[in-house]
Amino acid sequence: MTRTLFALLLVAGIANAEEWLEAPNRLGGKILLLQSKCSSKPDETGRTVIGTGGTGKNIMGCWYYFSDMVHVVWYDGSIYSYPADIFVARSKP
């Protein structure tokens, strides 16, 4: 099921659908996996990720899906991996 969600998200980007995946984070915010390619590395396969927090400060990076895990390289240089099944598909109503 999780693989299907990730595949649909990446394919939906081609159709300009406003869909994303999200999961809660430790700061009371969310990790948002977007469809758009990473602006800092347009030649790579990474997609944009945004981490929100309770203070209003956000962090951005690139995410990759591999081996049933979501791997995030944050622009501050830190790298984290998350189980894919914590993410839920969302779409703009």
Q: What is the pLDDT of residues 24-63, one digit of tens each?
A: 998 889 999 998 888 766 667 889 999 998 788 899 999 9
Number of domains composing the chain: 1
Instruction: Tell me the average pLDDT across 16-24.
Output: 81
CA distances from 81 to 14, 16, 18 (A): 25, 27, 24
Residue with tokens 């869909």: 19
Mean residue pLDDT across the chain: 82
CA distances from 11 to 28, 75, 77 (A): 30, 25, 28
Q: How many residues does the chain have?
A: 93
What does the buried/exposed string (b/e) look like for 34-48 if buried means 16 or more CB atoms within 10 Å of the residue's CB?
Answer: bbebbeeeeeeebbb
Which structural domain range is residue 21 located in? 2-91
